[in-house]
Chains A and B, each alone.
Chain A
Amino acid sequence: MLGMGGVWVRGAHMRVGVLEKRVPNPVRRVIVFYQWLLTLGVTAAMAWFSYEYIGRVSFFNTPGLQISRSVPVASLPVGFGLLFFLVLLHGPKAVREAEVEDDT
Chain B
Amino acid sequence: MIAVMLAVMLIHVLIGVPLFLSLMMTAVVGFAFVGFDQMSRIMPQQAFGGIDVFALMAIPLFILAGNLMNNGNMTPRLLGLAEKLVGHLRGGLGHVNVVASVFFAGINGSAVADTSALGTLLVPGMRKAGFPGTYAAGLTAASSLIGPIVPPSIFMILYAAQTGTSVGALFMGGVLPGLVLGLAFMAMNVVYARLYKVGKRDRRARLGEIWRAALSAFPALVAPFIIVAGIVLGVVTPTESGALTVAYVLVWGIATGNLNVAGLWKSLTETAVLTSAVFAIIAISSIVSWQLAYANAPQAFADLLTPLVSNPFLTLLAISTVTFVTGMFMEEVSALMLLTPIFLPVAQLAGVDPVHLGIIITLNITIALITPPMGACIFVAAAVGRVDITRLFLAIWPFILVAVMVLAVIIAVPSLTTWLPSIVF
A interface, CB within 8 angstroms of B: 1-4, 6-8, 10, 12-20, 31, 34-35, 38-39, 42, 46, 48-50, 52-53, 56, 72-73, 76, 95, 98-104
Contacts and interface: CB of A to CB of B under 8 A. Distances in A.
Contact of B16 (A2, A3, A8, A31): A31
A103 B16 contact: no
Interface of B: 12-21, 24-25, 28, 39-41, 43-45, 47-48, 51-52, 132-134, 137, 272-277, 279-281, 283, 331, 373-374, 376, 379, 382-383, 385-389, 391
A18 to B, nearest CB: 6
A13 B48 contact: no
Nearest to A34: B15
22 contacts: A1-B51, A1-B279, A6-B273, A6-B276, A7-B277, A16-B373, A16-B374, A19-B15, A38-B21, A46-B44, A46-B47, A50-B44, A72-B48, A72-B52, A98-B383, A100-B382, A100-B383, A100-B386, A100-B389, A102-B388, A103-B386, A103-B387
Given A50-B44, A101-B386, A42 B18 contact: no
B387 A39 contact: no
A91 B15 CA distance: 18
Please indicate which of the listed interface residues A7, A19, A31, A72 has the most CB atoms of chain B within 10 Å of its own CB: A7
Contacts of A100: 382-383, 386, 389
A82 B382 CA distance: 32
B15 A3 contact: no
Given A102-B387, A104-B133, 19 more contacts: A4-B20, A4-B276, A6-B273, A10-B273, A12-B274, A12-B277, A13-B18, A13-B20, A14-B20, A14-B277, A16-B374, A20-B15, A34-B15, A38-B25, A39-B17, A56-B41, A72-B48, A76-B44, A103-B388
A16 B24 contact: no
Nearest to B52: A72
B275 A102 contact: no
A29 B344 CA distance: 43
Nearest to A94: B16
A3 B39 contact: no
B52 A16 contact: no
Nearest to B39: A49
B273 A3 contact: yes
Nearest to A51: B44
Contacts of A31: 15-16
A103 B43 CA distance: 45
Given A1-B276, A100-B386, A103-B133, A13 B19 contact: yes
Contacts of B280: 1, 4, 7, 13
B272 to A, nearest CB: 5
A16 B393 CA distance: 14
Contacts of A7: 273, 276-277, 280
Contacts of B52: 72
A62 B75 CA distance: 40
Contacts of B386: 100-103
A93 B134 CA distance: 31
Contacts of A14: 18-20, 277, 281, 331, 376
Nearest to B51: A1
Contacts of A17: 16
Nearest to B17: A35
Nearest to B137: A103
A57 to B, nearest CB: 8
Given A49-B43, A76-B44, A103-B391, A2 B276 contact: yes
B44 A49 contact: yes
**10 smallest A-B Cβ distances: which pairs?**
A3-B276, A103-B387, A53-B44, A13-B18, A20-B16, A50-B44, A103-B133, A101-B386, A49-B40, A17-B16
Given A6-B272, A7-B273, A49-B44, A15 B18 contact: yes
A15 B19 contact: yes
A97 B81 CA distance: 34
Contacts of B25: 38, 42
B385 to A, nearest CB: 7
Contacts of A76: 44, 47-48, 283
A81 B31 CA distance: 22
Most buried by A among B13, B17, B40, B281: B17
Given A14-B18, A102-B386, A42 B28 contact: yes
